[in-house]
């Protein structure tokens, strides 16, 4: 009877082995109904940076020079040019060591300090390459202001181009989808031998020239109207042609105002 009791006690102790946290001398089971396998840690998600419009630039110096304040040419202007309700800062830079088409750049700093830019490939087109921001103007349907920038000057004429921010890109507003940037540049000022003007008149952008007619005091005036359709400057109709005396030029608002001076501005 005593031997039977000892045998039962030994079996009982063997059944309790390991329940108090000590390891049994026998092999451990590989799984247990009360054990939950810990999941393997998932690899971190692959984060891909959004593409930057500057990566497609043909100018290898663009990223470096656009943030170099020592290369700024002229002052800067501030206003909402991308339509997000905040003010951006816009300026021009000149890198005299840049290659062809990569000397001047128009730069936009957004509210989050990110930079957008585009080349101003006009350094060989005018007597003096002097890019600088002129004004921020409202030409119509786009959410933000458009950018007016002087891109060069001759003896008495200054030339400007118009730009807009579209998404993450600064684009030149082209006349009727002309691909060449220089064909969408507008003359301003001039001399008695040739006057050029651009302004907003009765809700439209008007581009005009006035040239003396022979030896007389008459001027031949040509006026072209444009409206902004998307990112394209589209003609509103055929040109208006007049012959007027010199003292009648003041009857054309664009010849009296400063460039784009009558357009809504930031």
| Confidence grade of residue 61 (pLDDT, cut at 50, 70, 90) | very high
Average pLDDT estimate for 31-53: 42
The structure tokens listed for 147 are 């950018």
- Give the tens place of pLDDT for each residue, 77-93: 999 999 999 999 999 99
Every domain of the chain and the residues it spans: 57-256
* Joined tokens for residue 64: 């470096």
Q: Tens digits of per-residue pLDDT, 95-113?
A: 999 999 999 999 999 999 9
- The per-residue pLDDT for 216 is 73
Confidence band of 217 (pLDDT split at 50, 70, 90): confident
């Amino acid at each position: 009877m005593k031997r039977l009791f000892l045998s039962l006690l030994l079996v009982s102790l063997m059944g309790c082995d390991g329940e108090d946290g000590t390891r049994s001398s026998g092999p451990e089971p590989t799984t247990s109904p009360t054990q939950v396998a810990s999941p393997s840690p998932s690899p971190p998600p692959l984060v891909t940076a959004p593409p930057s419009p500057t990566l497609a630039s043909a100018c290898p110096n663009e990223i470096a020079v656009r943030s170099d304040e020592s290369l700024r040419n002229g002052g800067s202007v501030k206003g909402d040019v991308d339509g997000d309700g905040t003010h951006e800062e816009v300026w021009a830079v000149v890198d005299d060591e840049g290659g062809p088409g990569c000397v001047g750049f128009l730069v936009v700093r957004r509210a989050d300090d990110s930079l957008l830019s585009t080349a101003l490939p006009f350094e060989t087109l005018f007597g003096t390459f002097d890019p600088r921001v002129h004004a921020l103007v409202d030409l119509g349907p786009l959410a933000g202001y458009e950018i007016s920038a002087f891109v060069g000057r001759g003896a008495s004429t200054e030339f400007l181009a118009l730009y807009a921010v579209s998404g993450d890109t600064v684009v030149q507003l082209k006349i009727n989808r002309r691909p060449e940037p220089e064909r969408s540049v507008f003359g301003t000022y001039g001399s008695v031998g040739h006057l050029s003007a651009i302004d907003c008149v009765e809700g439209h952008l008007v581009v005009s020239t006035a040239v003396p007619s022979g030896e007389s005091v008459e001027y031949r005036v040509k006026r072209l109207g444009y409206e902004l359709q998307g990112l394209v400057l589209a003609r509103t109709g055929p040109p208006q042609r007049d012959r007027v005396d010199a003292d009648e030029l003041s009857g054309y608002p664009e010849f009296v105002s400063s460039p784009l001076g009558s357009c809504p501005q930031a």
